[in-house]
Structure 1
Amino acid sequence: MDNVRIVEEALEGLIQCLSCSGEHAWCSSCAVKAHQHNPFHNLQLWNHKFYESTTLWDQGYIVYLGHGGRPCPHFQQQSNPPPWSDLGAMEDVFGHGEGDTIYETQLGLSNLVIVHSTGVYSHHVSWCQCPGVEMDRHLHLLKARLFPTSITRPQSAFTFDVLDNFLIDALECKTSAMSFYQKLCRFTNNAFPHKIPDRYRELMRVSRIWRDLMNRICFGFGHETDRSPGPGDLALYCPASNWWIKLVGYVVDGNFTAQHMKMKTPKDDVSLADGKGYMVTEGPYDTHITESIEEKEKSSCSNHCAVNAANVQRSNLRATGVGATACARHGCFVPHAIVDFQKGECALIIYDVACQWSIHFRKRVDQSYHLSLPPSIKILPAIGKFHLSAHKLICFARFSLNFITGAGHIDGEILETLWAPFNKISPTARSMTLSHRKKVLDDHMRDSNWKKLVGIGKSPLLRNGNFD
C-alpha cells in the first residue's frame, strides 16, 4: 500500500511554475517535459502544507549539449541515480562539491552553475560523447547560448541574455557588477542569498569579453575578417558631421570627477581594445604627455576652480580626471579623442584650450611624433560661454562665440550636459584597472552617441508621425 501511495503522489499535480503564464499543476515528469526548453524557470512544490521552492535539478532535468538539445548517440543512461539526486532544498542544491565525479567520467554527466537573468541555477549537463570532442565543451556551451567562464573543463556559464541585461543595466541604470550579481542572488533565494555560489569575479571577466566581442561584431570585425580594428574603429561618430559645410565645431572640456586610482599590479592589466574606441591609445599618449611636461607653460589667464582643485597633489591617483572632445552642435563624442588628465599642471595645459593651445596648437602638432593635422584646415579658437567668465577681459573679444562667423547660436558647453551621467559611474570606475575603466568609459560614450544617432532625425513638430 505504501508503494501505491508513493506512485499516486508522484502522479499528482504538485508542482507549479512561477515563471510560466497561467495556472499549472504538474507531476514531476510533466514539469520536466514542459520545461525542456525553459531551464531557467522558478518552480514550487506542494508539500501538503505549503509551497516550497524546488528546482528542475530536483526533478531530474538534464541539459543535453552538442546534438540540438537531444541526447548524444554515445550517451549511456545511468542505471542508478546520481549521488546528488536526494538533494532537497534550494540551498542544498548548491552545497555539493564542484568538479568531476565518477558519473562524469563514465557517462559524460557533470553539474554546471548557470547564471541567468532570473537567478543562479545548477543543472545536470550531459556532454557530447562523440569521439574527438572532449576539448570542445566550451564550443557546445556557446552554441547553446551559454558563455563559459573557462575554456578547459568549464564548471560555470552565463547565458547570453544575462550578459545583455547586465550591459543595459550598466548603461541605463549605472549598475555596478556587484549590485547586479547581488540582485540575481536575491532572485534565486531571497532568504539565504549568501548560500548562492559566488560568481562575481567571473561576471567581471566574462562581461568584459562579451562587450568586446559584441562591439567587434557590430563594427564588422567579429567574423574572422583579415582586417583588425584601428584607432577609433570601434566607435560611433556624429552622423551630422558632414551636414555642416561652412564650419565644423568641436568642444573640449574636462571632468575632474572621473578620477582613477593607482593600480597595485599594473603589469597584470590586460587590454582588449586599447585605443579602438574613444579613449586614446595608451603608449603614444604617455610619450606625448612626457614631452609636454618637459615643455609645459603656466597659464596666466584661466582661474577655474575645478582646474585649481585638480592641481592639488594627490599621490594615490593615477589620473585626476578625463578630457573629452565632442561635436559642438549635437554632443557626439569624437572617436580616439578622450584622454586622462595627469596630476598637477598637466591637466591645466590640456584644459586651458583656447588661451594656450590655440596659440601653440600647430607648434605642438609639428613637434609631436604622434600627432598630425591636414595643412588645409583653418582653426578658429573659441571659449565656451560659461568658461569665458573665468578668463581675462581681453579673452572676450578674442574668443567669444558671439563674434565667430558661422558658429551659430551655440554655447560651447554641451559637454557639461554629457558629464552628468558619467558622474554616476565615476565612483565605480575609480578603482578599476586601467583597461577595464577605459572599456567602461568607451561603452558609455558609444551608448551616448548611439542615442544621438537614433534620435537625431526626430522633429519637434512631429508627434507619432503626424502634425499636431
Structure 2
Amino acid sequence: MKQWLQHRSTFLDELLRLDGLGDASNSSIPCPDCSRHPATFKCNSCFGGTMRCSACTVSFHRNLPLHKIQRWHGGRLEERLLRVPTGPDRRSPSAGVALTETKHIFVVDLSGYHSVRIRFCTCPHTAFLDHFRQLLRVRWFPASTLQPKTVFTFDLMDTYHKISMQGKLNLYDFYTAIMQKTDNHGCTKIQYRYHEISRCVQQWRHLKDIKRGAAGHTSAAVDELGDGALAIECPACPHPGRNLPSEWENESGDKVWLYSLFLAIDANFRLKQKTRGIIDPELGSGLAYFVNVEKFSAHLKRHTDEDDIETCGTKFHAVNHANSKCSKDYSVSGVGAVVCQHGFVRKNGVVDLQKGERYVSIP
C-alpha cells in the first residue's frame, strides 16, 4: 500500500483521461481504421476505448449491441444507441441514426441498463418466428411473450443464479446494484423493472431444472412429466431394480437390515407464508421435492374432519395444537419434510402445512 501511495496521482490522472478522448488530442483527428472520416465515436466497453468514425464503429460492433457508445459533440461526450438486428445474417447496426422501422427495447445486462433500437427479422427463414423467440435466439430473455419491451440477458440471469446459490444474495439487492451501476446519482430516469426480473428469474430457474432433469430431450411434453421426475434421489439408499441384488427380499433375518430404508420426518413452523392473494400458477408442481398441489389439496379435503388421535398422556405443544392454525392471515403455517439418513430430501417429500403437525399432511 505504501508503494501504491507514491503513484496515487498517476492512477487518478489515468482514470480522468479515460473519461475524455483518451489518445485523441481533439475530435478532428482521422479514424485510425479507415483514415477517411473524423474519429468522433468512442466505446467505453471495448478494450482501449479507441476513437473511431461512425461507419467503423458500426462495423466493429456488429455483434456487440450492448456496448456503451459515446459521440463527441459540442465539447462533450453524449450517449448514442445502436440498432440491433435479430435475423440470421446479423447485418450491420447503425449508430446515431433515427430509424422509424425499429422498436425501442429495454435491455438489462451485467453492464447496466441499455435502451436499444431493435429490428426484428422478416426474412423467409425467420419471419414465422414470434418476436420473443427471435429474442431468445440472441440470448435475451423476454419479460413477456406479447410485444416484449423488456429483456434480460442470459449472462445476467445465469450470474444471479450462481450468486444467489453461493452468496445467498436476494434479487432486490442484486437488481439495485445493476440499477446503480447505470445511474448512481439519481439524475437519470430509469424504468423500474423489478417485478419483471422477479418473474423471469422464477422462469429461468424452472427451465434450468427441466434441462438438468434431461426432460427437454424427450418426445414427451413437459406437462406429461410424472411426479418427482426432476428430483435427485439418494444413491446410497436402497432402490429395488437399481442398487439391490436379485431376490434381496429372500435374504435371511440377519441381513435384512442391509436393505432397510431409514427416513426422518419433521416440520419447521418458522417457514410461514402470508396470504397475499397470489394467482399465478405454480411452476412444475410436484415435479421435484414438493408434492403436487392439486393432488395434495384433494387428499386434505377427504380428511378435513379427522383429528389426530393422542396415544400417550404427554402434553406436547405439537400434539395439542396439531389441528389449530396458530397464526392468522397465513396461507402456509409451516413446512413438513421427509429426508433419508444420508440427508437427501425424498422426491415429493415436502409439503406446505395449513395447520399444525397433522399426520394426514405428511406424505
TM-score (norm. length: structure 1)? 0.57
RMSD between aligned residues: 3.7
- Decide which of 46, 65, 83 is 1:62's aligned counterpart: 83
Q: Which runs of 5+ in 1 are unaligned?
A: 84-102, 351-363, 372-468
Q: Say whether the 8 Å CA contact 1:71–1:126 is kept in structure 2.
A: no
Q: Quick one: distance in 2 between partners of 1:200 and 1:207?
A: 11
State the secondary structure of the residue aligned to 1:313: coil
- What does residue 115 of structure 2 align with? 122
Q: Quick one: distance in 2 between partners of 1:162 and 1:307?
A: 49
Equivalent AA in structure 2 for residue 37 of structure 1: N
- What does residue 348 of structure 1 align with? 357
Matches within 5 A, 1:69-88: 69-70=90-91, 81-82=97-98
Answer 1 or 2: higher relative contact order, Cα 8 Å, separation at least 6: 1
State the secondary structure of the residue aligned to 1:128: coil
State the secondary structure of the residue aligned to 1:163: helix
Q: Say whether the 8 Å CA contact 2:307–2:323 is kept in structure 1.
A: no
Equivalent AA in structure 2 for residue 24 of structure 1: G
Q: Tell me, yes or no, if structure 1 residue 27 matches structure 2 residue 52.
A: yes
- Superposition deviation, residue 167 in structure 1: 2.0
- Compared CA separation, residues 41 and 135, structure 1 to 2 (3 A): closer
- Decide which of 200, 211, 219 is 2:213's aligned counterpart: 219
Q: Which runs of 5+ in 2 are unaligned?
A: 1-25, 31-36, 244-256
Equivalent AA in structure 2 for residue 248 of structure 1: L
Matches within 5 A, 1:420-431: none
- Superposition deviation, residue 48 in structure 1: 9.9
Q: Quick one: distance in 2 between partners of 1:32 and 1:310?
A: 68
Q: Quick one: distance in 2 between partners of 1:239 and 1:302?
A: 39
- Superposition deviation, residue 154 in structure 1: 2.0
Equivalent AA in structure 1 for residue 114 of structure 2: Y
Report the structure, 1 or 2, having the larger helix content: 1
Equivalent AA in structure 1 for residue 87 of structure 2: G
Q: Quick one: distance in 2 between partners of 1:13 and 1:310?
A: 74
- Decide which of 280, 297, 313 is 1:269's aligned counterpart: 280
TM-score (norm. length: structure 2)? 0.72
Q: Quick one: distance in 2 between partners of 1:307 and 1:187?
A: 53
Equivalent AA in structure 2 for residue 279 of structure 1: F
Equivalent AA in structure 2 for residue 125 of structure 1: I
- Decide which of 292, 297, 308 is 1:286's aligned counterpart: 297
Q: Quick one: distance in 1 between partners of 2:200 and 2:331?
A: 26
Q: Say whether the 8 Å CA contact 1:256–1:310 is kept in structure 2.
A: no
Q: Tell me, yes or no, if structure 1 residue 231 matches structure 2 residue 227.
A: yes
- Compared CA separation, residues 328 and 304, structure 1 to 2 (3 A): farther
Matches within 5 A, 1:5-404: 8=29, 11-12=38-39, 15=42, 17=44, 19-21=45-47, 23-29=48-54, 30-42=56-68, 55=79, 58=80, 61-70=82-91, 81-82=97-98, 103-104=100-101, 109-130=102-123, 133=127, 136-192=130-186, 195-223=189-217, 225-226=219-220, 228-242=224-238, 245-264=258-277, 266=278, 268-299=279-310, 300-301=313-314, 303=316, 313-329=326-342, 331-343=343-355, 347-350=356-359
Q: Quick one: distance in 1 between partners of 2:320 and 2:341?
A: 22
State the secondary structure of the residue aligned to 2:331: strand
- Compared CA separation, residues 38 and 334, structure 1 to 2 (3 A): same
Percent of pairs with identical residues: 26
State the secondary structure of the residue aligned to 1:340: strand
Q: Say whether the 8 Å CA contact 2:263–2:338 is kept in structure 1.
A: yes
Equivalent AA in structure 1 for residue 350 of structure 2: I
Equivalent AA in structure 2 for residue 11 of structure 1: P
Q: Say whether the 8 Å CA contact 1:112–1:125 is kept in structure 2.
A: yes
- Superposition deviation, residue 220 in structure 1: 2.2
Equivalent AA in structure 1 for residue 105 of structure 2: L
- Superposition deviation, residue 335 in structure 1: 1.1
State the secondary structure of the residue aligned to 2:147: coil
Matches within 5 A, 1:414-453: none
Is 236-245 or 298-307 further displaced after alignment? Answer: 298-307
Cα deviation code 1:114-153 (max 9, x no counterpart): 1112211111212213258276222211111112222232
Q: Quick one: distance in 1 between partners of 2:187 and 2:166?
A: 25
Q: Say whether the 8 Å CA contact 1:234–1:277 is kept in structure 2.
A: yes
Q: Say whether the 8 Å CA contact 1:135–1:152 is kept in structure 2.
A: no
Q: Quick one: distance in 1 between partners of 2:150 and 2:218?
A: 27
- What does residue 99 of structure 1 align with? none
Cα deviation code 1:274-332 (max 9, x no counterpart): 11111111122223334444221254436268996995632211111101111222x11
Report the structure, 1 or 2, having the larger strand content: 2
- Superposition deviation, residue 259 in structure 1: 0.3
Q: Say whether the 8 Å CA contact 2:227–2:287 is kept in structure 1.
A: yes
State the secondary structure of the residue aligned to 1:185: helix
- Superposition deviation, residue 202 in structure 1: 1.5
